[in-house]
């Protein structure tokens, strides 16, 4: 498994129109892989992050909220977004291009943040950002033109500078598993250095995914 240092901004509400860089461990549609997109942004941020100094000790400190959250997160609570496959997302074999699935995941993130009242634009205006640093995808079955599906997002954990989300994509209405994914979100300061998850972000995530209300 390759580990990629590039950070991908979430401040977008549309599927990518730029080329994607795909890293995979081997051939076949059922392998794990990591995606970086779009190429231009990924290249720029990758080099900025690699040039950043090692995070100081304070950034490695876990808040009280973070250390106690594992016992409160509901493992059965998901945020769900329904979508439909478009012809422009297909490859030459008539199935959804592998790179597009990362866009589905990002769209699910955007909708989740919007639902929680977390404004990416507000973060940017303050000189900070919320970014996707890693995505691990496992392809189970392909989607085809016109297929309806749901992206399900679940909070895995909040630890230090990382907020880990788990995802599944399932067909509708039969809920057949299409894809499993795990993504890592990080908060960045104005110099693109990872910093502790912002309190307003961790609080809203924990409130939603710990709630007993469906």
Is 70 exceeded by the pLDDT of residue 143?
A: yes
What pLDDT digit, counting tens, does each position of 178-206 carry?
999 999 999 999 888 999 999 999 999 99
Per-residue pLDDT band for 176 (boundaries 50, 70, 90) equals: very high
Q: What is the mean pLDDT of the chain?
A: 76
DSSP 20: -
Specify burial of residue 125 (Cβ count, 10 A radius: 0-12, 13-18, 19+).
Answer: exposed
The pLDDT of residue 123: 86
Region 15-38: mean pLDDT is 40
Number of other CB atoms surrounding residue 181 within 10 Å: 23
The pLDDT of residue 52: 40
Closest CA to 142 of 103, 109, 94, 102: 94
- Out of 3.10.129.10, 3.90.79.10, 1.20.1270.10, 3.30.70.20, the CATH code matching 8-210 is 3.10.129.10
Per-residue pLDDT band for 214 (boundaries 50, 70, 90) equals: low
Cis amide prior to 151 (ω within 30 degrees): no
- Alpha-carbon gap, residue 107 to 16, rounded angstroms: 10
Catalytic residue among 91, 174, 189, 214: 91
What pLDDT digit, counting tens, does each position of 102-126 carry?
999 999 999 999 999 999 888 888 8
- Say if CB 158 and CB 198 are below 8 A apart: no
The pLDDT of residue 204: 95
Share of the chain above pLDDT 70, in %: 66
Phi and psi, residue 122, nearest 5° = -65, -40
Q: Which residues contact 153 (CB under 8 A, 6 or more apart)?
A: 78, 79, 80, 81, 108, 109, 112, 165, 166, 167
Told to judge if 91 belongs to the known catalytic residues of this protein, a careful annotator would answer yes
Is 70 exceeded by the pLDDT of residue 89?
A: yes
Region 11-31: mean pLDDT is 40
The pLDDT of residue 211: 80
């Amino acid at each position: 498994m390759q580990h990629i240092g590039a950070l991908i901004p979430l401040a977008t509400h549309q599927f990518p129109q730029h080329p994607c860089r795909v890293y995979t461990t081997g051939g076949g549609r059922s392998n794990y892989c990591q995606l970086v997109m779009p190429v231009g942004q990924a290249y720029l941020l990758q080099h900025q992050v690699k040039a950043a100094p090692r995070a100081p000790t304070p950034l490695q400190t876990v808040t009280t909220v973070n250390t106690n959250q594992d016992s409160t997160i509901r493992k059965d609570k998901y945020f769900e977004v329904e979508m439909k496959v478009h012809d422009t997302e297909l490859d030459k074999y008539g199935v959804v291009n592998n790179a597009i699935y990362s866009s589905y995941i990002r769209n699910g993130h955007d909708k989740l943040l919007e639902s929680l009242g977390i404004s990416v634009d507000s973060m940017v205006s303050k000189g900070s950002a919320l970014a996707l640093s890693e995505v691990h995808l496992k392809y189970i079955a392909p989607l085809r033109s016109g297929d309806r599906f749901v992206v399900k997002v679940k909070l895995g954990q909040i630890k230090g500078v990382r907020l880990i989300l788990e995802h599944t994509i399932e067909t509708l209405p039969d809920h057949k598993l299409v894809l499993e994914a795990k993504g890592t979100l990080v908060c960045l300061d104005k110099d693109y250095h990872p910093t502790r998850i912002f309190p307003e972000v961790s609080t809203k995530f924990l409130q939603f995914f710990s709630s007993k209300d469906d």
